[in-house]
């Protein structure tokens, strides 16, 4: 299995454009690929980036991270604190618990740890991708990223 890590910001327009491409990558590679999203909220540029990351993590506590993740990206232009609450309602989350979890210090720490991990790894913008730990510096289109992943898959199969 090949691991693809994205350091992303839910309000970043480039991350929003990459989202459907990444869904296609996941569909194409199926069980050969493990996709990991790490939070890299650029709060100084994007007003709702951190709050969106916290909302995704609050949803994760109810086992709905990926649904909230997708909902945020699919409705990125409408992002606000109210919209995130609407997304939680639409996903059928326990709203009192969701609101409480938004204020949970360990969730903020998790987002901060993701951000710090990105800084240590050389992330300086979003989206940033790593394929089995190697920073991907190619284009953010399906053809380029899938070709890079395919190379790692072939290398892994060759070594076996």
Structure token digits, residue 90: 């639409």
Model confidence at 20, in pLDDT bands (50, 70, 90)? very high
Query: What confidence score (pLDDT) does residue 93 get?
Result: 98
* Cβ atoms of 141 and 149 closer than 8 Å: no
Q: What is the pLDDT of residues 24-66, one digit of tens each?
A: 999 999 999 999 999 999 999 999 999 999 999 999 999 999 9
Q: Does 120 score more than 80 pLDDT?
A: yes
End-to-end Cα, the chain, rounded Å: 12
How are beta strands 2-8 and 128-131 bridged, if at all? antiparallel
Query: What confidence score (pLDDT) does residue 94 get?
Result: 98
Q: What is the pLDDT of residues 129-140, one digit of tens each?
A: 999 999 999 998
CATH code: domain of residue 71:
3.40.30.10
* Helices and strands per DSSP (H, E), number in the chain: 7, 4
Q: Which domain holds residue 70?
A: 2-159
SS3 of residue 77 by DSSP: helix
* Cβ atoms of 126 and 15 closer than 8 Å: yes
Query: What confidence score (pLDDT) does residue 152 get?
Result: 83
Q: What is the pLDDT averaged over residues 106-115?
A: 97
Q: Does 156 score more than 90 pLDDT?
A: no
- Tally of domains in the chain: 1
| Tokens 């969106």 belong to residue | 52
């Amino acid at each position: 299995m090949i691991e693809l890590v994205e350091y992303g910001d839910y309000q970043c327009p480039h991350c929003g454009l990459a989202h459907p491409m990444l869904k296609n990558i996941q569909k194409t590679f199926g069980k050969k690929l493990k996709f990991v999203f790490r939070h890299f909220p650029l709060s100084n540029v994007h007003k709702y980036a951190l709050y969106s990351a916290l909302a995704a993590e609050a949803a994760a506590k109810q086992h709905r991270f990926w649904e909230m993740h997708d909902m945020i990206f699919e409705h990125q232009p409408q992002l606000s604190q109210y919209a995130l609450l609407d997304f939680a309602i639409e996903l059928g989350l326990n709203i009192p618990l969701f609101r409480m979890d938004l204020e949970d210090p360990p969730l903020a720490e998790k987002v901060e740890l993701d951000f710090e991990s990105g800084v240590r790894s050389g992330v300086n913008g979003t989206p940033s991708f790593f394929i089995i730990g190697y920073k991907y510096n190619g284009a953010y289109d399906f053809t380029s990223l899938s070709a890079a992943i395919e190379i790692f898959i072939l290398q892994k199969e060759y070594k076996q």
